[in-house]
Chain A
Amino acid sequence: DTAVSQTPKYLVTQMGNDKSIKCEQNLGHDTMYWYKQDSKKFLKIMFSYNNKELIINETVPNRFSPKSPDKAHLNLHINSLELGDSAVYFCASAPRGSGNTIYFGEGSWLTVV
């Protein structure tokens, strides 16, 4: 079983559409994240949830809205997609505590045309 799984892996959509990426972890972790990787491979945190509570909300357009129905799931909804949203989005999770490893999903490749 994949520890952190996200769907879809590939998504091509038109500008202005609304789309969601789903993420689930079966590791029993309390904390989940969304990261964005741009075309230059730079990785930046977008959101962090701890046991369904939003902890980190970096400077991200409010078109991006995370939703955590329970601590095993953290979905990312994006409204009114723009060309600049094209990127790879990684879901991740970690147990509570200092120095613990953060485990990443395989990524969702979003292309906005």
Chain B
Amino acid sequence: GDSVTQMEGPVTLSEEAFLTINCTYTATGYPSLFWYVQYPGEGLQLLLKATKADDKGSNKGFEATYRKETTSFHLEKGSVQVSDSAVYFCALTPGGGADGLTFGKGTHLIIQP
């Protein structure tokens, strides 16, 4: 079945550091790829998404590019802030709608001032 693998945390960085959170996937066909973020005590928010190969999703300074050749969707940000501290989830859906999301295990990001 479909699966998503992302780097285990916690990842601890200093403010203004460069961030990469790796995500790779296994899926049949052409999945859509997502990054969701969960701030402490809150629900899940969509951060960005890409629906086809070579698409780049971006939001709030975060970026991720859908790489079909390496089955990856790594999350990057050039300069992180303390407010970026959260749990980040990589996810895929094979066809959207009723198929639902398959999530990675989440990466806890801690940004220190």
List A residues at the B interface (Cβ < 8 Å).
30-31, 33, 35, 40-45, 48-50, 55-56, 90, 92, 94-107
Contacts and interface: CB of A to CB of B under 8 A. Distances in A.
28 contacts: A30-B97, A41-B38, A42-B106, A43-B103, A45-B100, A48-B98, A48-B99, A49-B98, A50-B97, A56-B98, A90-B44, A92-B44, A94-B97, A96-B98, A98-B32, A98-B96, A99-B32, A99-B93, A99-B95, A101-B46, A102-B46, A102-B93, A104-B36, A104-B43, A104-B44, A104-B45, A107-B42, A107-B43
Interface residues on chain B, size class = 20 to 34
Interface in B6-54: 32, 34, 36, 38, 42-46, 49, 51
Given A90-B43, A90-B44, A106-B42, A97 B106 contact: no
Interface of B: 32, 34, 36, 38, 42-46, 49, 51, 87, 89, 93, 95-103, 105-106, 108
A56 to B, nearest CB: 6
A103 B46 CA distance: 8
Given A30-B97, A56-B99, 6 more contacts: A40-B105, A98-B51, A99-B49, A102-B93, A102-B101, A104-B43
A31 B87 contact: no
Given A42-B105, A107-B43, A100 B97 contact: yes
Contacts of A94: 96-97
B105 A99 contact: no
B43 A99 contact: no
Greatest chain A CB density within 10 A among B34, B49, B99, B100 is at B100
Contacts of B87: 41
Contacts of B96: 94, 96-100
